[in-house]
Amino acid sequence: MTARTALITGISGQDGTYLSELLVEHGYHVVGTSRSAKGPTASRLSDLGVELEHWDLRDEAAFEAILRKVRPHEIYNLAAYTEGIGMYDGPVAMGEINGLVVPRILEAIRTVDPAIRFCQASSSEIFGDALESPQRETTPANPRNPYGAAKLYGHNMIRIYRNHFKLFGCSAILFNHESPRRSFNFVTRKVANAAAAVKLRLVEEVKLGNLDARRDWGFAGDFARAMWLMLQADQADDYVIASGETHSVRELCEVAFGRVGLDYRDYVRVSADDYRPPEARQLVGDPAKARQRLGWAPTVSFREIIHTMVDTELEKLSVAVTD
């Protein structure tokens, strides 16, 4: 039996590596596009047998050429643009990459092979200043930043192409999802690294913003599995992918520092520069539809995620100290 082929854009990111591993386990031939596949990530992908193709996300014709060459059965668009630590920087590039790239991919699918199944990595940021909590697939979108607005455009285009052109397109409305592969732009990685660094006496403290801010944090590997399940379903649809529970940054600190036997209150300082007021309504997802229709459920708890992240940071920093 010929192996199925999957194409993953943005493959070198956290989600791309977990999805690649999952697909290879299921016997797929995996091809990816990335701007920055290097170092450990490049080695991980190479060990999996993943092939890489160069693609400028603004070039629709080039993407068509890749589709004709690769002939994928499934496409997962994980490519996204952010600049700095905020979601307000680089709004033009965000619109170009996070928004317009979606119809470019959809048009290429229409032209080359309309049978290709497509999953778009959407975001809870489309809800922004949420009009209800928890958020589900029917919750009105209300983005509060350029990132969320661009993601909403892509999300809407999926629905339009699914209804009008009958393409198999799905939006995975992903809430926060973490792992040891998270970048330092995210508070979970920052706190996990700080706990390990304090334990090893490399730093004395860490500065954070609002410790009472709450987030719905899940495990990236679980979210990758959800996206794959969406493309195995009989009908294309959109799904909220979330843990369905929230935890505060304070609890994040307590779990992370507790993992190395420390009390976070001795080392965490609140910085006015990083402080953000709490949302009027909590961003927390209701994954009931994914549970019922896809049989999907999280397998890794919040505490397990943070413990693994701290353990990984401790191992990395310990090696650096002894070298």
Catalytic residues, which ones? 123, 125, 147
What sign for the dihedral angle of Cα 294, 228, 240, 254?
positive
Specify burial of residue 62 (Cβ count, 10 A radius: 0-12, 13-18, 19+): middle
What DSSP character marks residue 135?
B
239 token code pair: 């799904």
Q: How many other CB atoms are found less than 10 A from the CB of residue 48?
A: 15
Distance CA 271, CA 206 (A): 9
| 3-class state of residue 282 by DSSP | coil
Q: Are 186 and 220 in contact (CB under 8 A)?
A: no
Q: Are 178 and 218 in contact (CB under 8 A)?
A: yes
Single out the residue of 76, 264, 256 nearest to residue 178, CA to CA.
256
